[in-house]
A and B are shown apart, each in its own frame.
Chain A
Amino acid sequence: MTVLILGATSPIAQAVADVYAAAGLSVALAARDVEEAARAASDLRIRYGVEAQGFGFDACDAFERHATLVSEVEEALGPIDVALVAFGFMGDQQASEDDFEKARRVIEINYTGAVSVCEAVARVMVSRGAGSIIGLSSVAGERGRASNYFYGSAKGALTLYLQGLRNRLASKNVHVMTVKLGFIDTPMTFELETGIPVASPKKAAAAIFQAQGRGVETFYYPRFWGGIMGVIKSIPEKVFKRLSL
């Protein structure tokens, strides 16, 4: 049994890797920072006595590499049972407004890159008629907001993509799960004065592991974000515009 973690150096990805390694799965850690991925792999080997290996992976620099990566991982560690798309890039809203290249990066990493690698993973899973794909999306993808609509729209598109993929793969016995993350204690939230509780990556990882095991299709983490987003989505556009969110 193997889990492939894409974007393996983020704190949530690392926490998820911990949970699967503790459960005895082999772990493939794919990340841009290859050296760090290799360090993370040694960490898993030592702590949990599982097989683990680092792989170079860039979400959007060379899409054609994504299928290659999948076969390299399977060659090294065996068939991929679970794949987690954990990478993401918030970018800077203002910079993206000023310079489309910046906006494009945000869109490509969060959406295009994710789609590309999901397709590559889906192909091998479909051929075997088994597997589970987990996509980390965001509550930011639920409603366009003035303050981060590039990131939000890319995550929103990802949510829709995963929904479509789920529908397509349902008949192929491949499970697709969408996780809509609220505030987790990561570099993305480190600078924020949220006022809203921030959840630990460890707890998020435990929830993801459990939900995947039960075949959950889509869920919010932390769960109360479901309620918050319900309210936010119900605010009429006319009012929402004036809230400067």
Chain B
Amino acid sequence: MTTTSWASKPLAGWGRYPIVEALCARPESQSQTLNAFNEREGDAVLAHGFGRSYGDAALLSQGRVVLTRRLKKMLAFDETSGVLRVEAGVTIGELIEVFLPRGWFVPVVPGTQFVSVGGAIGCNIHGKNHGHAGCFGDHVLSMEVLLASGEVVRCSRAQHDDLFWATIGGMGLTGIILSAEIQLQAVESGAIEMESIRFNNLDEFFQISEESTDYFHTVSWIDCVKGGSQMGRGIFMRGRHASAEQAATLSEGPLERVVELVQRALDGRAFESNLLLNRATIRLFNEAYYHKHPAGELHSVVGYEPFFFPLDAVENWNYVYGKRGFLQYQMVVPEREAVRDILKVISESKMASFLAVIKEFGDQDHGGLSFPCGGTTLALDFPNFGEPLLAMMERLDALVAEVGGRIYLGKDARLSAEMFRRMYPTWEAWREVRDRWDPQGVFQSDLSRRLGLTPG
């Protein structure tokens, strides 16, 4: 007897490209999740959190998608050690809301708080503090995973460690994470003591980067429209959790002003005659935001939200790119020269990215399908210009692979299987573990089929 509500729904990642019809269930509890899984009738299955991955990582067009967002119970918390056990659908935002008042913060957060713990593990997300804190998975102590066999297994560094490591950054392909135990980070306040510095080109960016090692969090916005001597100009932001005294001096910093500008642009109001982003409006925006920041350094104490989640204030800003959606291209390259080559290709392509983010990762390579490794990462959002964009991205893939870099699967919608294999040479070891726990390929995604990560 079927007890689960299954419904065919249009499903998309944050980039709204591609959009697929998927047979979905949205269990309200752990037991309903097990029921739903048992009703799969031979179909492939995939967990889907909040769909904040950009492309098709959380999509499965022929199969069953289990929406995990209602699995949001907090199961255990130790006030003294900061160890927390929660179900996989709890969001990063909820964790901060509940635990920041008690002096705990989430050790690694992405650029939006609307992601689930399951999604954070599935993509092994990185934050602005990769050099100091690694990835989200580094703070996970154990997980309960619903396996292809229908069993629920607890795994950790000491217990089924192969499953543990294959699930962290495993893109949902080892099973459904039901709950996870996470080590929170003690903080004195939620405020961030930060500095923002305008830089004129890529060389200056790298120089400031080198001088910022004692800042916990670093990130920069760059203008990828400008070429020539101003190529790679932008604003560098670095910060650390403020002390309680500093938090008391919380101010309206330059960051808020930049954030405000972005919000206005995304609300569409700044470009009254042209709601959709095109090269002209993007160029305008980039000029404006660069010049809005005074030359030199600015010190301020800001709230964690504008610092970590500047875009969250604009709900559904992804819709601003219109019906065709947009694609993000995020890559990491171990060589600085390659960044220059890539920016050059982009600025010459005349296809502009509205928001470009650049930062340097720490040295840690997390293995498997996890994205971060030592080098410079650049994330670019492109309106879906269609074929010319895809062609340019393929050119970029070649440049990235050439120097031993890779692109982020959590943001990908179009990488080829061949390129993927060049970028992730350790993928076979991961695949071996995956196949051991799910030999039939019960867990699949459109991404896994495209990249040949799962059988069938």
Contact = CB atoms under 8 A, between A and B. Distances in A.
B70 A42 contact: no
A42 B28 contact: no
Contacts of B25: 190
Given A11-B28, A36-B30, A46 B76 contact: yes
B29 interface: yes
Nearest to A11: B28
**Listed residue (B7, B26, B74) with the most chain A CB atoms within 10 angstroms of its CB:** B74
Given A42-B73, A42-B76, A47-B74, A36 B6 contact: no
Most chain A CB within a 10 A radius of its CB, from B7, B30, B31, B73: B73
Contacts of A187: 4-5, 26, 28
A46 B87 CA distance: 13
Contacts of B77: 46
B22 to A, nearest CB: 13
A80 to B, nearest CB: 23
B403 interface: no
Contacts of B73: 39-40, 42-43
B74 A46 contact: yes
Given A11-B70, A42-B76, A191 B7 contact: yes
Q: On chain B, which size bracket covers the interface? A: 10 to 19
Given A47-B98, A187-B5, A190-B5, A35 B31 contact: yes
A9 interface: yes
A71 interface: no
B75 interface: yes
Interface in A1-47: 9-11, 14, 33, 35-36, 39-40, 42-43, 46-47
Given A46-B77, A47-B74, A191 B5 contact: yes
A188 B5 CA distance: 8
Contact of B98 (A14, A36, A42, A46): A46
Contact of A36 (B7, B31, B72, B76): B31
A149 B5 CA distance: 20
Interface string A151-169: 0000000000000000000
B178 to A, nearest CB: 11
A35 B34 CA distance: 14
B75 A43 contact: yes
Contacts of B28: 9-11, 14, 187
15 contacts: A14-B28, A36-B29, A36-B30, A39-B30, A39-B87, A42-B73, A43-B73, A43-B75, A46-B75, A46-B76, A187-B5, A190-B5, A190-B7, A191-B6, A191-B7
